[in-house]
Structure formats: structure tokens, C-alpha cells
Amino acid sequence: LQSSSDGILVVGNDGLIRFSNPAAEQLFQRTSEELIGSPFGFPIPVNRTTEIEIMSESGRPTPVEMRVVPIEWDEEPAFLASLRDVTEQRRAEDERRRHEIERQYSQKLESLGVLAGGIAHDFNNLLMTIVARSGLALRALPPDAPARKHLDFIEKAGLRGGELANQMLAFAGQTRLDFQV
């Protein structure tokens, strides 16, 4: 009991501490003399693992996993409380959760990029059809035809839309942006 890395306390039926090991003294930041005879101060759920928080003198709580089993101590019924500091375990769980959230965010961004790329490709295909057809229609019309200015506007709008589609493809990582002066 003395060399256990877990804090060990023996608590009598009256709720007073009868024994503490060095690890328990470290958890409670109190000496054995201060602990023995003092009230335990926590519920004693027998044969169950629960979590309690031990407040340090600085006011910071330490999460502790507690397991209590009934025993006999000095020929009287008592409880053996095994206390394990789970601060590092909680920190590792928080870190794992943070990494999982970052991974999910990364996957969402990747999905968004794939979606944007697919939309941009389809949009670009539609626009190129519009640009090509308006170009063919322009060539078929005489130079003084009143519809020429409308077809010219359609062709220019289609080309601007194609530039937008290329920007979406660049955002999706499916093409390189080619910057020119």
C-alpha cells in the first residue's frame, strides 16, 4: 500500500479516514497526520468506479478516479478507497478530441473542394457551349445585323463565367492559377 502509485485511503463507517498512503497525501496535499481522523468528504459508492475532484490549495481541481471496496480494518467494517489521478488521461482525451475535430474540419474542407470542383467543371462545360454557339451565330450573321450586339454580349458573359469557373477550380485545387501582368 505504501508504494502504490494510486492514492489509498481506508475510511471507517463513520466517514473518518483511518489510513493514507504517500500517494494519497500527495493528491490531497496534506500529511498523513492531517488526513487520519479527518472526514473523507466524498460519497462512498461501493464496488463502483466514480470520478471526484480534489481541490488543491491553489484552488485548481484534480480529476480523480475512485474505486471503493468494503474491507475490515482493525476488526471493524471499513472501506478501501483507491484514488487515481486522471489529469494526464483527461488531457490526452481532450487532445484526441481536438485532433478529431481538426480532422473532421479538414475532411469538410476537402469535400467542399471536391464539390466546388465538380460544380465548376459542369458550369464550365455549359458556359463553353454557350460561348461556342454564340461565336458560331456571330460568324453566320452579317456585320450589320441587329442581333450581333446581343450575341457579342452573350459570348463575353460566357467567357467571364468561364474565368469564374477557373477560379473555383483553383480553389478546389484541381487546376493552377496562372497569374499574368
Q: What is the mean pLDDT of residues 114-127?
A: 84
Q: What are phi and psi of 24, to 5 degrees?
A: -70, -40
Contact 9, 40 (CB under 8 A): yes
Q: Tell me the C-alpha distance between 19 and 12, whole Å.
A: 9
Residue with cell 455549359: 126
Q: Please compute Rg for the chain using Cα positions.
A: 37
Q: What are phi and psi of 15, to 5 degrees?
A: 85, 5
For position 171, what pLDDT does the model report?
A: 72
Q: What is the mean pLDDT of residues 158-180?
A: 75
Q: Would you state the torsion angle of the CA atoms of residues 109, 111, 115, 116, taken in this order, to the nearest 10 degrees?
A: 20
Query: With 70 as the cut, is the pLDDT of residue 9 above it?
Result: yes
